[in-house]
């Protein structure tokens, strides 16, 4: 009953098998091996255009270096107030990009376009004292389990383009969103105006596979230097490449994400059918937020269930009573139906 986070899971056998095979070979270091290059080609295919791809060690690094690559002095970056870059990265995006993150409110973890416009209006391009708009970043799937529709992405992208700003997508749970929308990688990104993507594999079956994808390779000119100077260039880079090869082969990544989402569906259905528990807000990916009696939470914990209490968002509609608690439940490629059922039993 591990629902604390999808990064509590291990690695998928197919990933391991590929790593094992890689371990017996010699190959060029620092991202110059044939395998490294073949994966770059694989990303081209998946995104249906020539992209520039850079492996890094963590999702925080992917976000931070992506923003560093579009750094402008005195620039500010707009992100949802609950975005990982604001809440969970210890200021790394600010540190690497030299820019301030500006929180934008919005229901269900999504940037509200009107709020975004209102915030951006304070940061025109000549605002030497106040600071100027430099980028927008959105998270897909969001930190609270929702998914931007393709049209919702387009709306944000249009605002970005209207001000000639680049749009970054934090795709730590990219596959979960993709499966949730039943869209293609191209449709969910550059076809809707995304310029740079943090492409995460770690939460979905790899143990360390994060990449920055530039849909316009010209924008990536400085990235090789930025990455090396920030100590993110792996010497045995091909082991990241190997993970991505297995991950992207024969649609494994989509399969794993579909499984995680299905397990979340099972959880959502179980909670909805429950007498005592209910969902805090609708979610579409592999994260479920539930309001459960404190007693149930305690009981489940005693039976070994792992999950986190969650701070109530300001705009939450559903009331949480004194003897209830808001919890986050995250499923992954490794979650089994039995796990979900056991949890539902435990809180019943």
Rounded CA-CA distance 334/161 in Å is 39
Work out how close the CB of 116 gets to a copy of itself at its nearest, in angstroms, rounded to a whole number: 17
**Any contact of residue 312 with a copy of itself (CB under 8 A)?**
no
Q: Contact at 8 Å (CB) between 246 and 18?
A: yes
How many CB atoms are closer than 10 A to CB 308?
13
Nearest alpha-carbon partner for 11 in 209, 211, 150: 209
**Any contact of residue 276 with a copy of itself (CB under 8 A)?**
no
Q: Which of residues 91-120 bind a copy of itself (CB under 8 A)?
A: 91-92, 94-96, 98-101
Residue closer to a copy of itself (CB basis): 1 or 183: 1
**Any contact of residue 286 with a copy of itself (CB under 8 A)?**
no
Q: What sign does the dihedral 44-47-53-58 (CA atoms) show?
A: negative
**Any contact of residue 181 with a copy of itself (CB under 8 A)?**
no
Strands 278-279 and 210-214: unpaired
- Give SS3 for 340: helix
**Any contact of residue 212 with a copy of itself (CB under 8 A)?**
no
Nearest alpha-carbon partner for 35 in 223, 239, 252, 253: 239
**Any contact of residue 46 with a copy of itself (CB under 8 A)?**
no
Work out how close the CB of 278 gets to a copy of itself at its nearest, in angstroms, rounded to a whole number: 26
Work out how close the CB of 209 gets to a copy of itself at its nearest, in angstroms, rounded to a whole number: 10
Q: Which stretch binds a copy of itself (CB under 8 A): 17-25, 143-151, 173-181, 244-252?
A: 17-25
**Any contact of residue 132 with a copy of itself (CB under 8 A)?**
yes
Using CB under 8 A as the binding criterion, the count of chain residues that bind a copy of itself stands at 75
Residue closer to a copy of itself (CB basis): 10 or 251: 10
Residue closer to a copy of itself (CB basis): 35 or 277: 35
**Any contact of residue 129 with a copy of itself (CB under 8 A)?**
yes
Q: Which of residues 225-254 bind a copy of itself (CB under 8 A)?
A: 225-226, 228-236, 239
Q: Which of residues 18-37 bind a copy of itself (CB under 8 A)?
A: 19-20, 22-30
Residue closer to a copy of itself (CB basis): 28 or 114: 28
Residue closer to a copy of itself (CB basis): 4 or 155: 4
Starting at the edge strand found earlier in the chain, the sheet holding 210-214 runs 52-56, 210-214, 196-200, 167-171, 132-139, 75-80, 100-104
Select from 13, 124, 217, 337 the one that contacts a copy of itself (CB under 8 A).
13
Scanning the chain, the segments in alpha helix (DSSP H) are 13-23, 34-47, 59-68, 84-87, 92-97, 113-121, 150-162, 174-181, 223-229, 238-248, 252-272, 294-302, 337-347
Rounded CA-CA distance 45/113 in Å is 32
Select from 36, 40, 82, 89 the one that contacts a copy of itself (CB under 8 A).
89
Work out how close the CB of 238 gets to a copy of itself at its nearest, in angstroms, rounded to a whole number: 9
Rounded CA-CA distance 18/203 in Å is 18
Residue closer to a copy of itself (CB basis): 103 or 293: 103
Phi, psi of 343, rounded to the nearest 5 degrees: -65, -45
Q: Output the CA angle 118-121-126, nearest 5 degrees.
A: 165
Residue closer to a copy of itself (CB basis): 2 or 174: 2
**Any contact of residue 224 with a copy of itself (CB under 8 A)?**
yes
Strands 132-139 and 75-80: parallel
Residue closer to a copy of itself (CB basis): 1 or 159: 1
Select from 51, 53, 56, 258 the one that contacts a copy of itself (CB under 8 A).
56
**Any contact of residue 214 with a copy of itself (CB under 8 A)?**
no
């Amino acid at each position: 009953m591990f629902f604390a986070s999808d990064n509590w899971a291990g690695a998928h056998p197919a990933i391991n098998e590929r790593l094992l095979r890689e371990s017996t070979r010699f190959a060029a270091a620092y991202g110059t091996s044939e395998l490294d290059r073949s994966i770059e080609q694989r990303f081209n295919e998946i995104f249906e255009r020539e992209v520039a791809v850079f492996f890094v060690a963590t999702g925080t690094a992917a976000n931070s270096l992506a923003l560093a690559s579009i750094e402008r002095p005195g620039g500010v970056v707009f992100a949802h107030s609950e975005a990982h870059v604001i809440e969970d990265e210890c200021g790394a995006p600010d540190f690497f990009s030299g820019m301030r993150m500006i929180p934008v409110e919005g229901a269900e973890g999504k940037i509200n376009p009107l709020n975004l416009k209102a915030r951006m209006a304070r940061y025109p391009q000549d605002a030497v004292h106040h600071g100027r708009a430099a980028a927008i970043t959105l998270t897909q799937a969001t930190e609270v389990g929702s998914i931007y529709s393709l049209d919702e992405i387009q709306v944000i992208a249009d605002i970005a383009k209207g001000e000639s700003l680049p749009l970054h997508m934090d795709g730590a749970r990219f596959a979960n969103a993709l499966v949730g929308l039943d869209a293609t990688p191209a449709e969910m990104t550059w076809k809707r105006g995304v310029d740079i993507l943090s492409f995460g594999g770690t939460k979905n079956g790899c143990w360390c596979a994060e990449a920055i994808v530039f849909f316009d390779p010209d924008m990536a000119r400085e990235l090789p230097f930025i990455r090396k100077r920030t100590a993110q260039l792996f010497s045995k880079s091909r082991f990241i490449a190997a993970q991505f090869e297995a991950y992207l082969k024969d649609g494994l990544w989509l399969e794993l994400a579909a499984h995680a989402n299905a397990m979340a569906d099972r959880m959502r259905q179980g909670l909805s059918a429950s007498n005592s528990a209910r969902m805090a807000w609708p979610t579409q990916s592999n994260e479920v937020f539930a309001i459960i009696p404190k007693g149930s939470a305690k009981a489940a914990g005693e039976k070994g269930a792992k999950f986190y209490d969650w701070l109530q968002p300001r705009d939450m509609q559903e009331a949480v009573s004194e003897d209830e608690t808001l919890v986050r439940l995250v499923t992954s490629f490794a979650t089994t139906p039995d796990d979900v059922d056991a949890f539902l039993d435990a809180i019943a």
